[in-house]
Amino acid sequence: MRYLVTGGAGFVGSHVVLALLDAGHEVVVLDNLSTGHREAVPENVLFHQIDLMDYEATHSVVAQGKWDGVLHFAALSLVGESIRTPFYYLRQNYLTALNLIQACAETGVKKLVFSSTAALFGGPERSEPISEVALIAPGSPYGESKFLIERVLHWADSIYGLRSASLRYFNAAGADAEGRAGEDHRPETHLIPLTIDASLGRRPSLQLFGTDYPTPDGSCVRDYVHVTDLADAHIRALEQIETRSVAYNIGNGRGYSNLEIIQSVERVSGRKVPWEAAPRRQGDPAILVADSTTLQKETGWKPKFGTLDQIVETAFRWREAHPNGYGD
The answer to whether 31 and 54 have CB atoms below 8 angstroms apart is no
Q: Residues 196, 307: one domain?
A: yes
Q: Residues 261, 243: one domain?
A: no
Q: Residues 63, 160: one domain?
A: yes
CATH of the domain at 17: 3.40.50.720
What does the pLDDT read at residue 128?
78
CATH of the domain at 274: 3.90.25.10
Provide the 3-class DSSP secondary structure of residue 278. strand
- Is 213 among the residues known to form the active site? no
Q: Residues 85, 123: one domain?
A: yes
Ranges of H-type helices in 79-218: 79-84, 86-107, 141-160, 191-199
What does the pLDDT read at residue 123?
64
Q: Residues 94, 236: one domain?
A: yes
Cα(299)–Cα(5) distance, integer angstroms: 21
Q: Residue 125: enclosing H or E segment and its boundaries? A: none
Q: List Cα–Cα distances, 194 to 14, 48, 187, 203, 208, in angstroms.
A: 20, 31, 10, 8, 11
Q: Residues 274, 165: one domain?
A: no
Catalytic entry in 3, 89, 142, 248: 142
Q: Residues 295, 238: one domain?
A: no
In a domain? residue 186: no
Q: Residues 76, 89: one domain?
A: yes
In a domain? residue 237: yes
In a domain? residue 184: no
In a domain? residue 182: no
DSSP string for 20-52: HHHTT-EEEEEE--SSS-GGGS-TTSEEEE--T
Cα(94)–Cα(202) distance, integer angstroms: 36
In a domain? residue 180: no
Q: What share of the chain is helix, strand, coil (3-state, %, to 5)?
A: 40, 20, 40
In a domain? residue 288: yes
- Strands 69-72 and 206-209 come out as unpaired
The answer to whether 233 and 249 have CB atoms below 8 angstroms apart is no
Segments of the chain with pLDDT less than 50: none
Cα(98)–Cα(52) distance, integer angstroms: 9
pLDDT tens digit sequence for 4-19: 999 999 999 999 999 9
Q: Residues 36, 153: one domain?
A: yes
Q: Which residues contact 195 (CB under 8 A, 6 or more apart)?
A: 206, 261, 262, 265, 273, 275
Is this model's pTM higher than 0.85 or not? yes
What does the pLDDT read at residue 309?
98
In a domain? residue 27: yes
Cα(126)–Cα(8) distance, integer angstroms: 32
What does the pLDDT read at residue 167?
98
Q: Residues 149, 202: one domain?
A: no
What does the pLDDT read at residue 311?
98
Q: Which domain holds residue 230?
A: 2-172+224-250
Q: Residues 200, 232: one domain?
A: no
Q: Residue 129: enclosing H or E segment and its boundaries? A: none
Domain count, the chain: 2
Cα(51)–Cα(96) distance, integer angstroms: 8
